């Protein structure tokens, strides 16, 4: 089975090289600043680099602090060259530039543009890669005609950052999230789904159906519910809204939503909505007006240009999902006010679909506006990028989904590739790289992936080990609906004609068809996570590792733990410890069976005396 691990434009070695070339050519800034999250009074250094394909005579930054967009008459400063390095993939020199903006008062929004006067006196503004024909052709070959967005002009991007002391809300750090695809979860009042064969079409789940299952979810132990888009949409998935302030009628109405929020909060369950603000439906009335009326005031709200196959820019080239022009102030106000509306209805957070589309600058002002309504709102993005490209979002969002962790865990535990040595090296390095002010929720499957149990070819042992990894990781875990009862699917999303809907199967509520062994394991692991925080956040130290087995100790202020993982095909002797077995995925005596995990709580200094 092919590993359908989604990792965007970095999913192959060839595409990683192409992206490197694109990001090191032309004039690039990418919202890279130091510090990443400026505090009041802190100066901010801008980092820019230019590739060998552009000759720069002068580099300038134009900025404002009064809310207006920068212009040639705004405050300005000159960037200086700080380094020049040879790039073997470009086969040319890359030049690094810097300038430092003065510190500002709390609450200030700094807008800026970075421009370079090139040979001949022409001004070009970052980010403007001007990718060569080969790069455009290769990227389009992989991702379609609209995957590369050549600049419409030489005006480049407008950048922004906010000066504040905001941090992720305390409750988000302890969140245990349950992701609900509303149409596939529960229809309500014990009614069967409308149909479950064609997953591109409606199955019939409702908001009332979610409310009916709140006791089940509270008993499971989760404390946060992430709902798929609930707004009016022509699709079953809802990621193409026609209105951001109403409820899709087939899912219910505003009264149903308010009841869900009220009943969830009564059970100490928080509600996170899925917001797709990168694009909307082509049936959105604003887009329809812009499409059919060249003089429409909404024309500038989207990206109309003959360079695009359909005359306008769509999400990954889709003509049914036109992308918003997030640089337009009216678009910013419209999208931000939609989010503020739902915060007023009691929503606790937003999962922000394709957050790297709008980019870091948009989320800077979005976050500040949302926090003004609810200081405890949690904002995390779907940014399918490697860690270095997540950095500009620090201080702009509260965090981003950890696709790199998902990739490694599924590679090892679902598909059985690699060995323990590779896994533990990654986990230790990745854990050490986590930033305290930037949460990275983890998951083993979601609505865009084949379900974990399907990927693991039905091997429940692998699923339980993966669930243990999920619940022991020191970031908010996300449980996809049905994974806790062993829900699987019939076809791979990579099968012809299946697509992303393959794993979005209807929830199984019949106890006879649920895997109660997995369900009980999930309940126990969630309870373990809540009862033993030092097991999650304690300092790890590897005690033993070979290609099949991995043993790590965790030390907190008053507690000591040992976790052993056997991913090999044979029984392995368990550590000789003085402690209590807290949980294991399979019976453990003197040996651990293949594909199993076990957790002990040790007496003081027990880890140091453990023997193998």
Domains of the chain: 8-162 (2.60.40.10), 174-278+331-531 (3.20.20.80), 280-323 (3.90.400.10), 539-609 (2.60.40.1180)
Please report the pLDDT score of residue 154 as a whole number: 35
The separation between CA 584 and the C-alpha centre of its own chain, rounded to angstroms, equals 30
For the entire predicted model, the pTM comes to 0.94
Please report the pLDDT score of residue 22 as a whole number: 82
Please report the pLDDT score of residue 136 as a whole number: 44
Q: Would you say 206 and 187 are in contact if contact means Cβ atoms under 8 Å apart?
A: yes
Please report the pLDDT score of residue 2 as a whole number: 63
Please report the pLDDT score of residue 530 as a whole number: 98
Please report the pLDDT score of residue 416 as a whole number: 92
Give the residue ranges of the chain where pLDDT is below 50.
130-155, 611-612
Q: Would you say 217 and 229 are in contact if contact means Cβ atoms under 8 Å apart?
A: no
**Which is it for the CA torsion 527, 528, 529, 532, positive or negative?**
positive
72 to 60, 65, 79, 115, 517: CA distances (angstroms) = 10, 15, 15, 10, 66
Q: How far apart are CA 444 and CA 454, in angstroms?
A: 12
Please report the pLDDT score of residue 159 as a whole number: 94
Q: How far apart are CA 450 and CA 489, in angstroms?
A: 8
Catalytic residue annotation: 353, 382
Please report the pLDDT score of residue 162 as a whole number: 96
117 to 24, 61, 270, 469: CA distances (angstroms) = 18, 11, 51, 52
Please report the pLDDT score of residue 7 as a whole number: 62
Helices (H), 164-223: 170-173, 182-185, 207-212, 214-220
Strands 80-87 and 109-118: unpaired
Q: Would you say 377 and 366 are in contact if contact means Cβ atoms under 8 Å apart?
A: no
């Amino acid at each position: 089975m092919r590993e359908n691990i989604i990792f965007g434009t970095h999913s192959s070695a060839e595409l990683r090289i192409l992206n490197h070339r694109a990001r090191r050519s032309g004039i690039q800034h990418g919202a890279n600043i130091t510090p990443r999250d400026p505090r009041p009074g802190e100066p901010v250094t801008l980092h820019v680099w230019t590739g060998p394909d552009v000759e720069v005579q002068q580099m300038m930054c134009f900025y404002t602090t009064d809310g207006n967009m920068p212009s040639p008459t705004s405050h300005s400063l000159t960037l200086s060259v700080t380094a020049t390095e040879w790039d073997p993939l470009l086969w040319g020199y890359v030049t690094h530039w810097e300038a430092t903006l003065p510190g500002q008062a709390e609450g200030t929004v700094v807008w800026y543009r970075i421009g370079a006067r090139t040979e001949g006196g022409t001004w070009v503004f970052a980010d403007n890669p001007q990718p060569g024909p080969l790069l455009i052709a290769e990227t389009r070959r992989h991702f379609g005609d609209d995957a590369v967005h050549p600049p419409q002009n030489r005006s480049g991007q407008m950048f922004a950052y906010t000066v504040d002391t905001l941090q992720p809300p305390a409750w988000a750090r302890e969140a245990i999230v349950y992701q609900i695809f509303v149409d596939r979860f529960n229809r309500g009042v014990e009614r069967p789904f409308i149909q479950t064969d064609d997953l591109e079409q409606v199955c019939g789940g409702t908001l009332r159906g979610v409310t009916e299952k709140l006791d089940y979810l509270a008993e499971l132990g989760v404390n946060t519910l992430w709902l798929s888009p609930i707004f009016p949409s022509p699709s079953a998935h809802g990621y193409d809204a026609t209105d951001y302030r109403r409820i899709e009628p087939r899912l219910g109405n505003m009264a149903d939503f308010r009841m869900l929020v009220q009943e969830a909060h009564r059970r100490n369950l928080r509600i996170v909505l899925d917001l797709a603000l990168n694009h909307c439906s082509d049936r959105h009335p604003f887009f329809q007006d812009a499409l059919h009326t060249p003089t429409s005031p909404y024309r500038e709200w989207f990206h109309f240009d003959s360079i695009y196959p359909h005359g306008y820019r769509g999400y990954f080239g889709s003509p049914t999902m036109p992308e918003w022009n997030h640089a337009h102030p009216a678009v910013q106000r419209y999208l931000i006010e939609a989010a503020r509306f739902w915060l007023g209805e009691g929503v606790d957070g937003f999962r922000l679909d394709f957050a790297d589309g709008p980019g870091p600058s948009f989320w800077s002002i979005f976050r500040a506006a949302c926090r003004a309504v609810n200081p405890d709102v949690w904002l995390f993005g779907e940014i399918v990028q490697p860690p270095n490209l997540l950095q500009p979002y620090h201080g702009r969002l509260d965090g981003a989904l950890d696709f790199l962790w998902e990739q490694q865990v599924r590679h090892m535990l679902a598909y059985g590739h690699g060995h323990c040595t590779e896994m533990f090296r990654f986990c230790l390095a990745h854990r050490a790289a986590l930033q305290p002010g930037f949460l990275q929720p983890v998951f083993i499957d979601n609505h865009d992936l084949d379900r974990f149990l399907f990927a693991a070819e039905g091997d429940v042992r692998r699923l339980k080990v993966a669930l243990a990894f999920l619940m022991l990781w020191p970031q908010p875990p996300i449980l996809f609906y049905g994974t806790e009862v062993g829900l699987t699917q019939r076809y791979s999303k990579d099968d012809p004609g299946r697509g992303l809907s393959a794993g979005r199967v209807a929830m199984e509520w019949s106890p006879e068809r649920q895997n109660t062994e997995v369900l009980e394991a999930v309940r126990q692991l969630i309870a373990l996570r809540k009862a033993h925080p030092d097991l999650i956040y304690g300092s790890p130290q590897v005690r033993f590792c070979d290609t099949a087995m991995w043993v790590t100790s965790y030390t907190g202020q008053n507690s000591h733990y040992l976790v052993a993982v056997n991913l090999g095909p044979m029984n392995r002797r368990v550590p000789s410890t003085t402690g209590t077995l807290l949980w294991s995925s399979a019976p453990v005596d003197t040996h651990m069976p293949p594909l199993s995990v076990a957790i002990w709580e040790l007496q003081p200094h027990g880890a140091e005396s453990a023997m193998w």
